[in-house]
Amino acid sequence: MRDRLSDLQERVVQAIQAPTPLAENAALAAEATRLCTGNARMSPVDQLDVYREQFWLRHVDALAEDFRSIEVLLGDDAWRTLCEAYLAAHPSRAYSLRHLGERFGEFVRREAPWRDDPLIGDLADLEWAFVDAWDAPDVPPLDATKIAAIAEDVWPAARLVFHPSFRAVRMGWPGHTFRAAAKRDGGPARPDPDETFVAVYRGEETLEYVDLDRDAWGLLARLARGVSLGPACEDVVRDLGLDPVAFEGRVGAHFQSWTARGWVVDVLT
């Protein structure tokens, strides 16, 4: 009995995951007549197709909610094609659809034709940063008295701990402004290429984003990976060809800005 039930469930799943109506596929239509009995109002094919339609509506809508900017960029038909390809490669494995799009960025950067447009990959990474920021756990804020007690000569070896919602994103386009316009009016023009750095985080009431300078992003990206402050600063100065004295003067201002926004929640010494 258990084997027969498992087989039945597997056959139903295969049918409802078909991207086109079951009546358009002779094999699936025949399978529907074996799986459903039909009634006076609906044929077996129509009965099973109801569940197929709901499967696609639910999953495509969930992806559209998480990746609205890509839906707008591609248009309805191309977006549906992308969703069908993604769900075929990465079907949902959980009752919740929260993690349905966690491999979306990886997919569009790997698979043709989407890999040929890096803007799609940038938008996918940015959108998922917002998803992660929204669901991230909360933690106590930075203890100002602890910061005040840190000796000056200890700071180079210090490591910053960031709020779980914080993400530093690098893009080849101003994807954050395109995303905002897509959510606002649904019809923004494709942006021109322009290297952009953005911090995404959960504010007190809403998700927030802030434009970053190249040097601030470079420092944040290293610190968020666990690099201590001294080596992180040295790396940024070397990689960007900055004046070390001038950059050192900016680090304090960066730190004050980050703590004021709640990005830094602890300093490990």
pLDDT (tens digit per residue) in 155-173: 999 999 999 999 999 999 9
Q: Are 86 and 115 in contact (CB under 8 A)?
A: no
pLDDT (tens digit per residue) in 74-94: 999 999 999 999 998 998 887
204 has a pLDDT exceeding 90: no
227 has a pLDDT exceeding 90: yes
Question: Which of 1-15, 65-79, 230-244 is the least confident region?
Answer: 1-15
Q: Alpha carbon of 136 to those of 4, 198, 207, 269: distances in Å?
A: 41, 18, 11, 25
Mean pLDDT of 217-245: 95
Q: Alpha carbon of 58 to those of 32, 52, 152: distances in Å?
A: 21, 10, 55
The predicted model scores a pTM of: 0.84
pLDDT (tens digit per residue) in 253-262: 999 999 999 9
pLDDT (tens digit per residue) in 43-78: 877 677 777 777 778 888 999 999 999 999 999 999
Peptide bond into 113 cis (omega under 30): yes
pLDDT (tens digit per residue) in 107-135: 999 999 999 999 999 999 999 999 999 99
Confidence band for 18, pLDDT divided at 50, 70 and 90: low
% of the chain exceeding 70 in pLDDT: 91
- Please report, for the chain, the start and end positions of each structural domain, with discontinuous segments joined by +: 67-268
Residue 178 and residue 16: Cα distance in Å, rounded?
34
Q: Higher pLDDT residue, 204 or 173?
A: 173
